Amino acid sequence: MGGLRADQIVHPDLEGRWEGRAAPSSEWRFHRDIYRQRPEAQAVVHAHSPFAVSLACLRRGIPAFHYMVAVAGGTSVAPATPPSAPRRSPTTCQLRWEDRRACHMANHELVAFGETLDQVLAVALEVEGLCHQYWRAGLMGEPVLLSDAEMDEVLERFKTYGKRR
Ligand SMILES: [Zn+2]
């Protein structure tokens, strides 16, 4: 950790050709498919972060227990159904993206995309935090969920959140 050097980074293209000293992870296809399917995606983060993976293994999304689920673009980060064969394209995941910017791959991971690496890393960290908070709240009881109307209002506000006038 922390020792990654630029010459260790592999640069695959969308056709599967790559440059670098080592072959890319077999999971490069997830990234390629997101870039192809979502033109606004300029960066993808895929992480095996512990709380997001825990929910992915339970095949549970994140309900609207907190307004910040809007940061991922929706009330639920839906688990994809194909057990995450790394060579498989996340087709089902893609079908569930809708307006979301983060998705769980069942029994595997968290995948998020955004316009910049900083932005998508922030989304991935927020989603991991939400998974942690959802787990903690569940230890004390069943979280009270926001209504669809409340979440629609938050999602509307998030369209301009942090943007300059
Ligand atoms: Zn993975």
**pLDDT tens column, 12-50:** 888 889 888 888 887 888 788 888 888 889 999 989 999
Residue 79: pLDDT above 60?
no
Of 36, 40, 163, 145, nearest to 99 by C-alpha is 40
**Which pLDDT belongs to residue 140?**
97
Catalytic residue among 15, 19, 27, 156: 27
User: What is the whole-number distance in angstroms between the Cα of residue 25 and the centre of ligand 1?
Assistant: 9
Q: What percent of the chain has pLDDT over 90?
A: 32
Q: Which residues of 2-35 are buried (b: 16+ CB within 10 A; e: fewer)?
A: eeeeeeeeeebeeeeeeeeeeebeebbbbbbbbb
Has this prediction a pTM greater than 0.95? Answer: no
Domains identified in the chain and CATH numbers: 22-158 (3.40.225.10)
Q: Which residue has the higher pLDDT, 90 or 139?
A: 139
Q: What distance in Å separates the CA atoms of residue 43 and residue 36, rounded to the nearest whole number?
A: 12
27 is catalytic: yes
Task: Report, as an integer, the average pLDDT of 77-82.
Answer: 52
Q: List CB-based neighbours of ion ligand 1 within 5 Å.
A: 27, 109
Q: Taking 50 as the threshold, does the pLDDT of residue 3 lie above it? A: yes
Lowest mean pLDDT among 70-79, 112-121, 142-151: 70-79
- HSE-CB at 36 with a 13 A cutoff on CA atoms is 14
- Give the pLDDT band of residue 54 (cuts 50, 70, 90): very high
- Amino acid at site 32: R
Q: Which of 5-9, 18-22, 141-145, 147-151 has the highest mean pLDDT?
A: 141-145
* Distance from Cα 22 to the centre of ligand 1, integer Å: 17
- CA–centroid distance, 49 to ligand 1, in Å, is 10
Secondary structure of the chain as H, E, C letters = CCCCCHHHCCEECCCCCEECCCCCCCCHHHHHHHHHHCCCCCEEEEECCHHHHHHHHHCCCCCCCCHHHHHHCCCCCCEECCCCCCCCCCHHHHHCCCCCCEEEECCCEEEEEECCHHHHHHHHHHHHHHHHHHHHHHHHCCCCCCCHHHHHHHHHHHCCCCCCC
Joined together, the tokens standing for residue 156 give 């509307």
The mean pLDDT value of the chain amounts to 82
- Spacing, Cα 165 to ligand 1 middle (Å): 38
Average pLDDT over residues 130-136: 95
pLDDT at 88 over 80: no
Higher-confidence residue of 17 and 104: namely: 17
